[in-house]
Amino acid sequence: MTVMTETTQRRNTATGTGKQDGGTTPQVRRGDSTAPPETRGSTAVADVVVAKIAGMAAREIPEVHNLGGGMTRAFGAVRQRVPGGGSGVTQGVKVEVGERQAAVDLDVVVEYGAAIADTAADVRTNVINAVERMTGLEVVEVNIAVDDVHLPDEQEDEGESGQEGRRVA
C-alpha cells in the first residue's frame, strides 16, 4: 500500500499524472485541445467591476435619485469636478467578491413619493440580474440602505445654485 502526501497528490492532480480520489473524472492537461473551452483557464472578476455593474443597474430604476449618503455625495460632487477624478459610478456601492459569489451593499436616495419597499425590490432584482448575467457570479445578497428622500424642490448641488439660498452676500 502506497501512502501519498498531500503535496504529492496536489502535484499529481495538477499535472494530470495521478488521481487524488481514485474517481473516474478525466484529468485536464495543459495544451489538451479536447477539453471544453470553458475549462481552459480561469477568470477573476475585480471588485470594482462588480461595483460598477451594480451602480449602473441601481441607477436604471427611475425612482432612484442617486446613490451614496450625504457626505459621500458631497465628496463625489467635488471628485467629479477634478480632472481625472472619476465618474462616481461606484459612489454608494460596496461589494465583496469571492471566487463564485458576490455580495452588494447600496446606499440609495429615492425620489419623494416612491414606494420605498417596491423601489428596493426593483433595485435588488435589477442588480442581481445584471451582476449575475455579466459576471457569472452568484449574488448572495443585496443590502439596501435608504439614506435620504429627494424632494422635488431640493437643489441637487448647492454650488450650482449661485446666489440663491445664500443669506449673506
Q: pLDDT tier at 91 (50, 70, 90 boundaries)? A: very high
DSSP run (H or E) holding 98? none
- Given a contact cutoff of 8 angstroms between Cβ atoms, the answer to whether 55 and 90 are in contact is yes
- Residue 74, C-alpha cell as written in the block: 458631497
Helices (H), 60-145: 70-81, 116-135
Q: Are strands 101-111 and 138-150 parallel, antiparallel or unpaired?
A: parallel
Count CB neighbours of 57 within 10 A. Answer: 25
Residues 6+ positions from 40 with CB-CB distance below 8 Å: 28
Distance (Å, rounded) from C-alpha 166 to C-alpha 169? Answer: 7
C-alpha Rg value of the chain to the nearest Å:
24
Tens-place pLDDT, residues 19-73: 444 455 556 566 667 888 878 888 899 999 999 999 999 999 999 999 997 655 4
pLDDT of residue 159 exceeding 50, the answer is no
- Residue 103, C-alpha cell as written in the block: 455580495
pTM listed for this prediction: 0.66
Residue in the block written with cell 475585480:
46
Distance (Å, rounded) from C-alpha 36 to C-alpha 1? Answer: 35
Residues in the chain: 169
Structural domains of the chain in order of their starting residue, each with its CATH number = 47-151 (3.30.70.1350)
Q: Which amino acid is at 168?
A: V
Tens-place pLDDT, residues 109-141: 999 999 999 999 999 999 999 999 999 999 999
Distance (Å, rounded) from C-alpha 166 to C-alpha 71? Answer: 20
Paired strand residues for 145: 107
Paired strand residues for 66: 109
